Amino acid sequence: MKARLALMAFLVVISETGCNPMTTRPGFRPFALAAVDTSNSEPSITLTAIESQINERGLPIRRSNARDGYLETRRFDLETETVDGAAIHDSQRAIVMRFWVNPVPGKRSQIISEVVYRRTADPSVSNRAAEALVPPDHPARELLAEVLAAVKADGRAE
Domain boundaries, the chain: 31-157
Task: Please give the share of the chain, as a percent, with pLDDT higher than 70.
Answer: 79
Which CATH architecture best describes the domain 31-157?
2-Layer Sandwich (3.30)
For 107-150, what is each residue's pLDDT tens digit?
899 999 999 998 877 788 888 888 999 999 999 999 999 999 99
Torsion angle of C-alpha atoms 105, 41, 36, 82, degrees rounded to 10: 150
For 81-105, what is each residue's pLDDT tens digit?
777 665 555 577 889 999 999 999 9
